[in-house]
Amino acid sequence: MARVVVPLADGFEEIEAMSIIDILRRAGIETVIAGLHEGPITSARGVKVLPDTTIDTIKAEDFDMIVLPGGQPGIDNLNADERVKKLIQDFYNKGKLTGAICAAPYVLANAGVLEGKKATSYPTYKEKLGNVDYLEDIVVEDSNVLTSRGPGTAACFAFKIVEKLAGKEKADQLKQAMLFNC
């Protein structure tokens, strides 16, 4: 079974984090929520989530993918955390899937994994991604990096992750069962 880690920092975007976590778990993909600190993590709009573990317990070799949700000040908190940056680099350097949505591709850029790649993000982060081939597609894939645009694209992003980790047939079955059309 594929395993995915979703790091959560205070100020995360609810729709992005919860859509991804929910859809991956429905697909039978083990999805671990890793908080930057012990105890509940508070979203951008005050929703509290109790993570499965903390970021300190996460090792790239134990997972197939890392996915960063956006949200403010969540991405600033992820971006300021050296543990997150090191994990992103570990996943990327091991050829594992690395994903980010909304403003979170900015964290990938600062970790050095977007250089020269095709990518997307929330529109206001376009200029902050550095040397990327910026696209406005819902989901952009370039080698082992997946990026997406924002809350409205979170489900489509999650289905693309399911496709990558569990196959297109599984993703299509889940879309049909959930009445999604993307």
Whole-model pTM: value is 0.97
Q: What is the 3-state secondary structure (H, E, C) of the chain?
A: CCEEEEEECCCCCHHHHHHHHHHHHHCCCEEEEEECCCCCEECCCCCEECCCEEHHHCCHHHCCEEEECCCCCHHHHHHCCHHHHHHHHHHHHCCCEEEEECCCHHHHHHCCCCCCCEECCCHHHHHHCCCCEECCCCEEEECCEEEECCHHHHHHHHHHHHHHHHCHHHHHHHHHHHCCCC
Q: How far is CA 37 from the centre of its chain?
A: 18
- Please report which confidence band the pLDDT of residue 181 belongs to, taking 50, 70 and 90 as the band edges: confident
Q: pLDDT by residue (tens digit) across 17-67?
A: 999 999 999 999 999 999 999 999 999 999 999 999 999 999 999 999 999
CATH class entry, domain 3-178: alpha beta
Q: Which residues are catalytic?
A: 102
- Please report which confidence band the pLDDT of residue 182 belongs to, taking 50, 70 and 90 as the band edges: confident
Q: pLDDT by residue (tens digit) across 135-166?
A: 999 999 999 999 999 999 999 999 999 999 99
Q: pLDDT by residue (tens digit) across 13-27?
A: 999 999 999 999 999
Predicted confidence at residue 160, as pLDDT, reads 98
